[in-house]
């Protein structure tokens, strides 16, 4: 079974330890790149803007 995993291109996702971890899955882990952080494209982000600052989470 292949496990799909998304990463957003953060520098830590490109570190040698992460690459070693991915390699240890021997092809059972599929990595796909997510777009850069885009709150306008993610409706839940608008909700967090209203709940977290007011402490209603």
Give the per-residue pLDDT at 27.
86
Of 52, 56, 36, residue with least CA distance to 44: 52
Give a yes or no: residue 18 inside a domain: yes
pLDDT in tens, 28-46: 888 888 777 776 777 777 7
Greatest C-alpha distance within the chain: 46
Give the Å distances, CA to CA, from 36 to 9, 24, 54. 8, 27, 27
Mean pLDDT of 46-57: 66
Residue 16: the pLDDT is 92
Average pLDDT of span 3-21 = 84
Quick check: is 56 in a domain?
no
Residue 57 placed within a domain: no
In a domain? residue 40: yes
* Residue ranges making up the domain that contains 19: 3-51
φ, ψ dihedrals at 14, nearest 5°: -105, 5
CA pair distance 26, 47, nearest whole angstrom:
39
Residue 56: what pLDDT? 54
Q: Is the pLDDT of residue 55 over 60?
A: no
């Amino acid at each position: 079974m292949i496990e799909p995993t998304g990463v957003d291109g953060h520098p830590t996702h490109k570190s040698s330890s992460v690459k070693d971890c991915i390699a240890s899955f021997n092809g059972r882990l599929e990595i796909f790149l997510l777009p850069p952080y885009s709150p306008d494209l993610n409706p839940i982000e608008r909700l967090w803007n209203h709940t977290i600052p007011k402490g209603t989470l």
